[in-house]
């Protein structure tokens, strides 16, 4: 188990529960059983640590989303694969995803610019798929921008309530969301034959286990 | 302008930007131009202040949602009215809604119990409308629980991105979301003749103006 991973999980647990601004670098080092100098050596300062965590999460969303979309030229299938990948990232990494979603405003300067660019790049995948689907007459969109924002917020929301201990496994959850997304855009329903296999989504090194989350 | 309103707006601005845990009672009194004793007199302690803000926001959601649903026995119209009211509350009170959505875990004891109960009561409105729509065959729901959670998160998300200075007025935004919601549940589209007039949604006393939000 790497020290940087342990530091990131401790930080995500604290950021998710108390927020970035309320979390001190000392609490993180205490939680990770390191002294502050060692933590600084591995992770840099507190903002650097946040940027590293968010960069990894957004890079994974972009990677999985791009793979999902590039597998086919059919926008109905692209949307299903994109939504399934997004839901999987949120459900497998709920605390990391929540911190990534909520703490952009805590970044400054080049960190802020970089993370905003990754977010835009990710949203661009949805924009392109919706645009293609509308252009070829597969989707009926009254307002592509609002549809995109509603889709993304609906998928981001998974990180707020999904529990891996609950009744629904990730692929089933993803299937429900893909169906809802298809309905929202007026797409035909896509069969498993068409969209499978799913993009594999990892548990990120920054995602804490139950025991690593502060009460 | 009441002192409690000014305190609440200052607090919501700080809670929304920095988070509840990172905000000190002294920052709030400084921002509201009051000394700490006066602030305590009007608003109680920091948690009491948060609970007051969340209670008012959720009470308004429940009030508007109940009015929206009680106007008719037709679940397709109920859903449109409920979504329109929810979107209006989020769009008119984005910072208050965001704080209400994110800071439940910061409450303890009786405050936590009370606010969770209000949230459950609000979600119950969606549960009942979806249940009725499925029962009478108006909605086609693969999974009522997931549909409910996706709908609510999609509407809550409005508070994360909607700007009243942007291109879309609240009633138009509400119309887009009502259409998406109708599609998600497989409902017929509802005409303005059927759902109008909208429930009037106020700007809450806790919602800060631009100038009241810290940079």
DSSP designation for A211:
G
Q: Hey, are the CB atoms on B154 and A158 less than 8 Å from each other?
A: no
Helix (H) or strand (E) holding A35: none
User: Does A15 contact B at CB distance below 8 Å?
Assistant: no
- Inside any domain, residue A168: yes
- Inside any domain, residue B205: no
Mean pLDDT for A119-146 is 98
- Report residue A189 as tokens: 């329903």
Q: Hey, are the CB atoms on B153 and A143 less than 8 Å from each other?
A: no
User: Does A139 contact B at CB distance below 8 Å?
Assistant: no
Which single residue is written with the structure tokens 């249940």? Answer: B131
B69 and B175 fall within a common domain: yes
Q: Hey, are the CB atoms on A180 and B184 less than 8 Å from each other?
A: yes
Partner residue opposite B179 with nearest CB, options A142, A154, A168: A142
Angle among Cα A201, B147, A12 to the nearest 5 degrees reads 40
Q: Hey, are the CB atoms on B168 and A186 less than 8 Å from each other?
A: no
A77 and A148 fall within a common domain: yes
Q: Cβ of A105: how many Cβ atoms within 10 Å?
A: 12
A22 and A53 fall within a common domain: no
B97 and B33 fall within a common domain: no
DSSP per-residue letters across A93-126: SHHHHHHHHH-GGG--HHHHHHHHHHHHHHHHHH
- Inside any domain, residue B214: no
Q: Is the pLDDT of residue A121 over 80?
A: yes
A79 and A153 fall within a common domain: yes
**What is the pLDDT confidence band of residue A17, given thresholds at 50, 70 and 90?**
very high
Size of interface A-B (CB pairs under 8 A): 87
Partner residue opposite A154 with nearest CB, options B105, B143, B154: B154
CATH of the domain at B38: 1.10.10.60
- Inside any domain, residue A92: yes
Q: Hey, are the CB atoms on B158 and A160 less than 8 Å from each other?
A: no
A6 and A106 fall within a common domain: no
Q: Is the pLDDT of residue A126 over 70?
A: yes
- Inside any domain, residue B207: no
A114 and A151 fall within a common domain: yes
Q: Hey, are the CB atoms on A180 and B147 less than 8 Å from each other?
A: yes
Partner residue opposite A176 with nearest CB, options B17, B142, B177: B142
B130 and B154 fall within a common domain: yes
Burial of residue A126 (number of CB atoms within 10 Å: 0-12, 13-18, 19+) = buried
Q: Domain range for residue A17?
A: 1-44
Mean of the per-residue pLDDT values of chain A: 96
B148 and B107 fall within a common domain: yes
Partner residue opposite B180 with nearest CB, options A21, A147, A152: A147
C-alpha span between A14 and B47 (Å, rounded) = 19
pLDDT of residue A1: 60
B100 and B145 fall within a common domain: yes
- Inside any domain, residue A210: no
Residues of A in contact with B156 (CB under 8 A): 153, 157
User: Does B150 contact A at CB distance below 8 Å?
Assistant: yes
Instruction: Give, in order, the Cα–Cα distances in Å from A208 to each of A2, A64, B159.
Output: 13, 21, 28
Q: Is the pLDDT of residue A80 over 80?
A: yes
- Report residue A149 as tokens: 């924002």
Domain count, chain B: 2
pLDDT of residue B162: 96
Residues of A in contact with B123 (CB under 8 A): none
A117 and A192 fall within a common domain: yes
- Inside any domain, residue B79: yes
Interval A33-44: pLDDT, tens = 999 999 999 999
Instruction: Give, in order, the Cα–Cα distances in Å from B209 to each of B9, B54, B88, B203.
Output: 8, 18, 17, 10
A107 and A149 fall within a common domain: yes
Q: Is the pLDDT of residue A165 over 90?
A: no
Per-residue pLDDT tens listing for chain B (215 residues): 589 999 999 999 999 999 999 999 999 999 999 999 999 999 999 999 999 999 999 999 999 999 999 989 999 999 999 999 999 999 999 999 999 999 999 999 999 999 999 999 999 999 999 999 999 999 999 999 999 999 999 999 999 999 888 889 999 999 999 999 999 999 998 999 999 999 999 999 999 998 888 76
Partner residue opposite A183 with nearest CB, options B157, B173, B184: B184
Chain B's closest residue to A18, CA to CA, is B21
What is this model's ipTM? 0.96
pLDDT of residue B1: 59
Shortest CA distance to A150 belongs to which of A176, A118, A133, A126? A126
pLDDT of residue B210: 83
Measured between its terminal Cα atoms, the distance across chain A in Å is 23
Which single residue is written with the structure tokens 């200075």? Answer: B165
- Inside any domain, residue A212: no
Which single residue is written with the structure tokens 């509840």? Answer: B20
Residues of B in contact with A142 (CB under 8 A): 176, 179
Residues 6+ apart with CB under 8 A from B73: none
User: Does A36 contact B at CB distance below 8 Å?
Assistant: no
pLDDT of residue B212: 81
Q: Is the pLDDT of residue A25 over 80?
A: yes
Q: Hey, are the CB atoms on A184 and B186 less than 8 Å from each other?
A: no
C-alpha span between A175 and A184 (Å, rounded) = 14
CATH of the domain at B114: 1.10.357.10
């Amino acid at each position: 188990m790497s020290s940087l991973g342990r530091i990131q999980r401790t930080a995500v647990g604290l950021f998710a529960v108390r927020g970035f601004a309320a979390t001190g670098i000392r609490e993180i080092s205490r939680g990770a059983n390191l002294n502050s100098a060692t933590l600084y050596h591995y992770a840099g300062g507190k903002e650097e640590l946040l940027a590293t965590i968010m960069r990894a999460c957004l890079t994974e969303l972009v990677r999985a989303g791009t793979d999902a979309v590039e597998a086919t030229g059919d926008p109905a299938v692209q949307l299903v694969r994109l939504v399934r990948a997004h839901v999987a990232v949120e459900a497998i990494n709920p605390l990391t995803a929540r911190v990534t979603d909520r703490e952009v405003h805590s970044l400054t300067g080049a960190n802020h610019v970089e993370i905003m660019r990754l977010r835009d790049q990710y949203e661009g995948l949805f924009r392109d798929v919706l645009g293609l689907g509308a252009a070829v007459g597969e989707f009926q969109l009254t307002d592509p921008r609002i549809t995109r924002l509603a889709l993304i917020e609906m998928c981001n929301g998974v990180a707020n309530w999904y529990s891996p201990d609950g009744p629904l496994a990730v692929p089933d959850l993803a299937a429900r969301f893909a169906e809802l997304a298809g309905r929202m855009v007026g797409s035909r329903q896509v069969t498993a034959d068409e969209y499978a296999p799913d993009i594999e989504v990892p548990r990120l090194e920054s995602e804490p286990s139950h025991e690593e989350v502060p009460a």
